[in-house]
């Protein structure tokens, strides 16, 4: 180890988040490659929550205790779980980890499976942020996407969440939808801005291998229209008071997503539930793990080592690359001190590609920070290619 390198920060210094995967949906959307499964019959809510807590106990056997900064109940469609099950889950997490009372606790909800009563129940259970999967406010687009709700339901769900006391709401939107024009995408964003959520996630629709949309692609906007669409969306969002702080994330001042920011800043996270991923740093390096994907298999093995479907420690080269893969998604880039703290590497480890990226006008740097330039942000894949680790 060179003098400029130091061991990874002590475990209890890095912020810790918890991701919980709730894998069922009413039906599978044709563009979705998340680990989500169409529900046949009743949701096994009680048994699944028991399994999640066993899984968490297993993870905590090998983790030094430190407080949580955030919990993210993602899916799938977590709003299919009734508030009692969510309350028992959050209570169980609070019995095992500190910081829960002050943590950001997000629950992903589908407008087709959440009503006013449920939102009130989630609030009482301790959820303090709702992420609503709206995708579009255009009924024809929603039908083409195979969504189970229409635009009116999405607006009702938003109002219901507000009335239930949620002062921190995110809406997920997608653009680049089949047959969508720039004006249609801007109209979607205008409705969203009108509702005035605290946060908006705006994703470009991608055709993921293994999905029906990938097998039979619908007619999507071409590359130039997508660029125009994104430029117009960003401008409309900025005018509405939403600053872009990550590739797909926009927030009103003070309402960035703590959980996702921790991912992007290469913080640590536990992952419990079917197919959940984790990233944890320690004296031995940075370790990534994932759990078995099948919900049924997960419920059978939760709490035992057999639930681990994969685990590996990142190589030195991967560490630098993975840090940049996350941190360069942030418009503000990263502090050099954070790079050092979270990878255990000296900045010299990335000096050569960093200089090339700066010479090409893709990154800028001062004594303390490294930031993507406007051009670098547009061609992030090209920037990252410079930092790719050599093949093993
Ligand atoms: C895991 S989903 C959970 C939200 C919830 N299940 C729903 O769909 O209402 C999170 C978000 O990812 C986005 N997403 C899913 N598949 C996508 C794709 N193929 N391309 C772009 N965004 C996608 C959607 O905006 C979705 O709301
Ligand atoms: S509701 Fe969300 S998680 Fe479920 S299939 Fe559709 S996009 Fe995927």
Beta bridge partners of 249: 201, 246
Residue with the smallest CA separation from ligand 1 atom 17 is: 32
Q: What pLDDT, on the 0 to 100 scale, is given for residue 64?
A: 75
Q: Render 199-268 in DSSP notation, one character per residue.
A: EEEEEEP---TTSHHHHS------HHHHHHHHHHHHHHHHHTT-EEEETTEEE-TT---HHHHHHHTT-E
User: Best of 22, 24, 27, 32 to mutate for ligand 1, by most ligand atoms within 8 A of CB?
Assistant: 32
Q: What is the dihedral of CA 116, 122, 126, 127, to 10 degrees?
A: -90
Residue pair 50/91 in contact by the 8 Å Cβ criterion: no
Query: Atom 1 of ligand 1 has which residue's CA nearest to it?
Result: 75
Does residue 313 surpass a pLDDT of 80? yes
Q: State whether the beta carbon of 34 lies less than 6 angstroms from ligand 1.
A: yes
110 CA: nearest ligand 2 atom: 1
> Is 11 a residue whose pLDDT tops 80?
no
Residue 1 CB neighbours (<10 A): 8
**Ligand 2 neighbour 110 (Cβ under 6 A):** yes
Across the chain, mean pLDDT equals: 94
Distance CA 45, CA 35 (A): 17
Q: Residue 94 is encoded by which pair of tokens?
A: 């609070």
Our mutation pick for probing the ligand 2 site, out of 36, 80, 136, 144, counting the most ligand atoms within 8 A of Cβ, is: 36
Q: 113 CB under 6 A from ligand 2?
A: no
Share of the chain above pLDDT 90, in %: 91
Instruction: Give the pLDDT of residue 3.
Output: 37
**pLDDT tens digits, residue range 222-231?**
999 999 999 9
Give pLDDT, residue 113.
86
Whether 314 shows a pLDDT value over 90: the answer reads yes
- Cα 345 to Cα 335: distance, rounded to the nearest angstrom: 13
What confidence score (pLDDT) does residue 2 get?
Answer: 42
Q: What mean pLDDT is predicted for residues 106-120?
A: 93
Pairing of strands 285-291, 308-313: antiparallel
Question: Mean pLDDT across the stretch 73-91?
Answer: 97
pLDDT band at 1 (very low <50, low <70, confident <90, very high): very low
* Residue nearest atom 2 in ligand 2 by C-alpha distance: 76
Instruction: Decide whether any atom of ligand 1 lies within 6 Å of the 142 Cβ.
Output: no
Cα separation, 287 vs 322, in Å, equals 12
Q: Name the closest-CA residue to atom 6, ligand 2.
A: 29
Tally Cβ neighbours within 10 Å of residue 115.
Answer: 15
In the predicted structure, residue 86 carries a pLDDT above the cut 90: yes
CB neighbour list of residue 218: distance below 8 Å, 6 or more residues apart: 144, 178, 179
Short-list 371, 172, 168, CA closest to 252: 168
Is the beta carbon of 206 within 6 A of some atom in ligand 1? yes
Among 337, 330, 346, 382, smallest CA distance to 3 is for: 346
Q: Which atom, in ligand 1's list, is nearest to the CA of 76?
A: 6
Mean pLDDT throughout 2-7? 46
* 29 alpha carbon – ligand 2 mean position (Å): 5
How confident is the model over 342-368, as a mean pLDDT?
A: 95
Q: Residue 325: name the closest of 351, 343, 313 by CA.
A: 343
Beta-carbon contacts of 10 under 8 Å, excluding residues fewer than 6 positions away, are none
Kindly state the average pLDDT of the residues 240-269: 97
Mean pLDDT of all residues in 105-124: 94
Q: Please report the atom of ligand 2 found closest to the CA of residue 28.
A: 5
CA of 204 to the centre of ligand 1 (A): 10
């Amino acid at each position: 180890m060179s003098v400029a390198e130091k061991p990874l920060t002590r475990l209890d210094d890095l912020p810790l988040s918890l991701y919980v995967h709730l894998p069922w949906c009413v039906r599978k959307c044709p563009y979705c490659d998340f680990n989500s499964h169409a529900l046949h019959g009743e949701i096994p809510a009680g048994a699944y929550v028991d399994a999640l807590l066993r899984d968490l106990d297993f993870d905590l056997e090998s983790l030094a205790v430190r407080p949580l900064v955030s919990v993210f109940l993602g899916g799938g469609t977590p709003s299919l779980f009734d508030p009692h099950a969510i309350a028992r889950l959050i209570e169980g997490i609070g019995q095992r980890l500190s910081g829960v009372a002050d943590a950001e606790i997000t629950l992903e909800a589908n407008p087709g499976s959440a009503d006013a009563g449920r939102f009130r129940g989630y609030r009482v259970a301790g959820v303090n942020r709702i992420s609503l999967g709206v995708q579009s406010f255009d009924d024809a687009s929603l039908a083409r996407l195979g969504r189970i709700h229409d635009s009116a339901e999405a607006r009702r769900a938003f109002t219901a969440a507000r009335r239930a006391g949620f002062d921190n709401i995110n809406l997920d939107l997608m653009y680049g939808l089949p047959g969508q024009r720039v004006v249609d995408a801007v109209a979607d964003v205008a409705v969203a801005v009108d509702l005035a959520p605290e946060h908006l996630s705006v994703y470009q629709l991608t055709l993921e291998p293994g999905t029906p949309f990938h097998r039979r692609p619908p007619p999507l906007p071409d590359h130039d229209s997508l660029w125009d669409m994104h430029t117009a969306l960003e401008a409309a969002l900025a005018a509405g008071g939403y600053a872009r702080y990550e590739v797909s994330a926009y927030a009103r001042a003070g309402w960035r997503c703590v959980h996702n920011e921790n991912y992007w800043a290469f913080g640590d996270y536990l992952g419990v539930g079917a197919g959940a991923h984790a990233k944890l740093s320690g004296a031995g390096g940075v370790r990534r793990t994932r759990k078995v994907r099948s919900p049924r298999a997960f419920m059978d093995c939760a709490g035992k080592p057999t639930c681990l479907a994969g685990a590996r420690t990142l190589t030195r080269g991967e560490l630098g690359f993975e840090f940049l893969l996350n941190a360069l998604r942030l418009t503000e880039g990263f502090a050099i001190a954070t790079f050092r703290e979270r990878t255990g590497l000296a900045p010299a480890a990335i000096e050569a590609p960093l200089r090339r990226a700066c010479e090409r006008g893709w990154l800028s740097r001062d004594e303390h920070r490294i930031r993507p330039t406007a051009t670098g942000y547009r061609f992030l894949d090209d920037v990252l290619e410079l930092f790719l680790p050599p093949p093993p």
